[in-house]
Structure 1
Amino acid sequence: MAEHSITLTDRRYMELTGIKNVITFDEEEIILESSPGLIFIVGQGMHITMLNLDEGKVKIEGEVQSFQYKPQGTDIKTRSKNIINRLLK
């Protein structure tokens, strides 16, 4: 298993390692696939400022309000519908 870590500084700068893939992202929600499972990051004005999947590294800037791990195989289709609904408002 690849080493996984999260560093959050002042709730504005997040660095993650052990990332396998970016599932979806916008300014309010980012979903990443990591070695221990899916990571749902919720916030405002978030941007991925660095992405290197070969090394498994991601950097995010913006206001991070929460992040949560979900097990592999979690159905994210319902979350995707919420993103589409927000975009269509």
Structure 2
Amino acid sequence: MDQGKSGKVQDVRLQNRKLMDITGVSQVESFDSEEFLLDTSCGPLAVRGHNLHMKNLSLEHGLVTIEGMIDSFVYLDGKAAAKSKGLLGKLFR
């Protein structure tokens, strides 16, 4: 298991593309039925799919469980994260 930039361990478990457990989550930036944007110990993470919803959230334990049809998940680099947050900032002004 590799340690992220903050020295904490992060696990991502995907079961049948329908249930995803993510540890090392420090904040949920935004979410809707098609995309979750999360701050994790390994960097910003985008989870995309259809009919997504949060089944479990425990920021005290750094755990998020997402249910639905998961199409992809990707760690965002600096440019993609800034673009994503910039778009969110425009939406929530």
Is residue 33 of structure 2 the alignment partner of residue 27 of structure 1? yes
Runs of 4+ in 1 over 2 A off after TM superposition: 71-74
Unaligned runs of 5+ in 1: 85-89
TM-score (norm 1): 0.83
Cα distance change on mapping 1:12 and 1:36 into 2, 3 Å:
same
* In structure 2, distance between residues paired with 1:72 and 1:61: 27
Match of residue 64 from structure 1: 70
- The one-letter code sitting in structure 2 at the alignment partner of 1:16 is I
Compute the RMSD of aligned alpha carbons.
1.9
TM-score by length of 2: 0.80
Structure 1 residue 22, shift from structure 2 partner: 0.2
- Offset at residue 70 of structure 1 (A): 1.2
Q: Where does structure 2 lack aligned partners over 5 or more consecutive residues?
A: 1-6
Count the aligned residue pairs: 82
